[in-house]
């Protein structure tokens, strides 16, 4: 769901009651809207280098809506570009057009390049930029490629990497997973163990255990240059992998010593694309690095063929008491 940021409070303590009303409205409206768990707050950018200012909010599960303002969501960024085009904030989308998004949550700069566009659907290549280029050792927790995480049922070597979003990567073989087919099964025990590891990593990052971040994914090699990935979303298995997750795996696969690097095979070579296989398909990722050592730098990560679809608008009258302008906030999805 996309909302106009300028129509709502900016401070979290004032924004949360408004978003709570919005989520309740969606739940009462039904028709699948009650399943929406990601909110984008957008406005024409105040920065001269960007077209859109974007702020992400994750709706956390529970009887009473809670919100996590950390991190970002790549697909939500792309959805925001489509909405901004329909609102006339940017040019009508067409192939090869580029829209520049400033992510306020974490400082990400995302260039959304249109590959194809129809009436209510568009396909993009998303470029996650780093200006200036960032040293690879700045992207791992503590500057090291791996860390040992102690969780309720044991300990494991993991790579804690933060590119777009903080992620924890573990080798699924260390958890007894033999192959990709087993990785993609709905294994409640594997899910529980990954949640335990994620909670341990949250303590390391200084993030709340009950929040949406860090994300976690279990990995296996799946042929040369391909990694099989099983990730957890909120509140269950991710059907594929988040766009930001693909970005983070792609970047981590270029960092010597990390779990993704060890599994990537020839895709670890600078300039080589990485194929990510999930239960729902495959994704190709390219990371522009100067090399694989901690002192080398990352300039950008690109993920192609990501599609979004506009499904409609509605007026959220219950947000009227929170509106910062006369016009009612409209929700787009």
Model pTM score: 0.93
Domain membership of residue 82 as a residue range: 2-120+310-332
* DSSP summary character for residue 224: T
Identify whether residues 319 and 280 lie together within a single domain: no
> 77-114 pLDDT, tens per residue?
999 999 999 999 999 999 999 999 999 999 999 999 99
Residue 30: give its domain's CATH number.
Answer: 3.10.310
Average of pLDDT values for 253-267?
98
Rounded Cα distance, 291 and 286, in Å: 13
Is 126 inside any structural domain? no
Residues 165 and 299 in one domain: yes
- Whether residue 315 sits in one domain with residue 297: no
Is 127 among the domain residues? no
Both 280 and 182 in one domain: the answer is: yes
Nearest alpha-carbon partner for 54 in 244, 216, 318, 194: 244
Same domain, 319 and 300: no
Structural domain includes residue 131: no
Query: Do residue 235 and residue 263 come from a single domain?
Result: yes
* Shared-domain flag, residues 46 and 165: no
Q: How far is CA 202 from CA 62, 80, 151, 160, in A?
A: 20, 28, 11, 10
pLDDT value for 95? 97
Q: Where are the alpha helices (DSSP H) in 128-255?
A: 180-183, 188-205, 243-252
Give pLDDT tens digits for 165-223: 999 999 999 999 999 999 999 999 999 999 999 999 999 888 899 888 999 999 999 99
Residue 332 structure tokens: 């787009």
pLDDT at 330 over 70: no
CA distance 136 to 187: 34
For residue 280, being part of any structural domain is answered with yes
Domains in the chain, number = 2
* Domain shared by 48 and 152, yes or no: no
157 and 19 part of one domain: no
Query: What is the CATH number for 297?
Result: 3.10.310.10
Enumerate residues 6+ apart whose C-beta is below 8 A from 321.
Answer: none
> Helices 74-86 and 243-252, interaxial angle, to 10°?
130
Identify the bridge partners of residue 218 per DSSP, sorted by sequence position.
170, 230
Shared-domain flag, residues 286 and 325: no
Q: Distance between CA atoms of 142 and 81, rounded to whole angstroms? A: 35
């Amino acid at each position: 769901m996309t909302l106009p940021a300028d129509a709502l409070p900016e401070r979290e303590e004032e924004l949360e009651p408004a978003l709570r009303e919005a989520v309740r409205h969606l739940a009462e409206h039904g028709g699948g809207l009650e399943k929406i768990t990601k909110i984008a707050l957008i406005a024409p950018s105040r920065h001269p280098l960007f077209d859109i200012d974007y702020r992400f909010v994750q709706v956390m599960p529970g009887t009473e809506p809670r919100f996590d303002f950390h991190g970002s969501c790549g697909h939500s960024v792309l959805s925001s570009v489509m909405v901004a085009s329909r609102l006339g904030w940017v040019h009508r989308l067409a192939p090869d057009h580029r829209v520049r998004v400033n992510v306020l949550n974490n400082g990400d700069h995302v260039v959304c390049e249109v590959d194809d566009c129809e009436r209510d659907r568009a396909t993009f290549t998303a470029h996650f930029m780093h200006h200036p280029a960032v040293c690879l050792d700045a992207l791992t927790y503590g500057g090291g490629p791996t860390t040992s995480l102690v969780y309720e049922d044991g300990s494991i070597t993991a790579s804690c990497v933060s590119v777009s979003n903080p992620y924890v990567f573990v080798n699924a073989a260390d958890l007894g997973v033999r192959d990709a087919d087993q990785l993609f099964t709905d294994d409640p025990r594997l899910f529980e163990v990954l949640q335990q590891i994620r909670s341990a990593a949250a303590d390391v990052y200084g993030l709340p255990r009950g929040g949406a971040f860090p994300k976690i994914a279990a990995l296996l090699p799946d042929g040369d240059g391909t990694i099989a990935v099983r990730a957890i979303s909120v509140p269950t298995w991710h059907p594929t992998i988040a766009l930001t997750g693909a970005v983070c795996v792609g970047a981590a696969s270029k960092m010597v010593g990390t779990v993704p690097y060890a599994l990537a095979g020839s895709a670890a070579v600078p300039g080589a694309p990485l194929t990510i296989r999930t239960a729902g398909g495959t994704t190709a990722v390219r990371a522009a690095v100067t090399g694989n050592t901690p002192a080398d730098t990352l300039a950008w990560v690109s993920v192609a063929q990501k599609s979004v679809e506009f499904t409609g608008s509605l007026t959220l009258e219950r947000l009227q008491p929170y509106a910062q302008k006369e016009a009612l906030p409209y929700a787009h999805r």
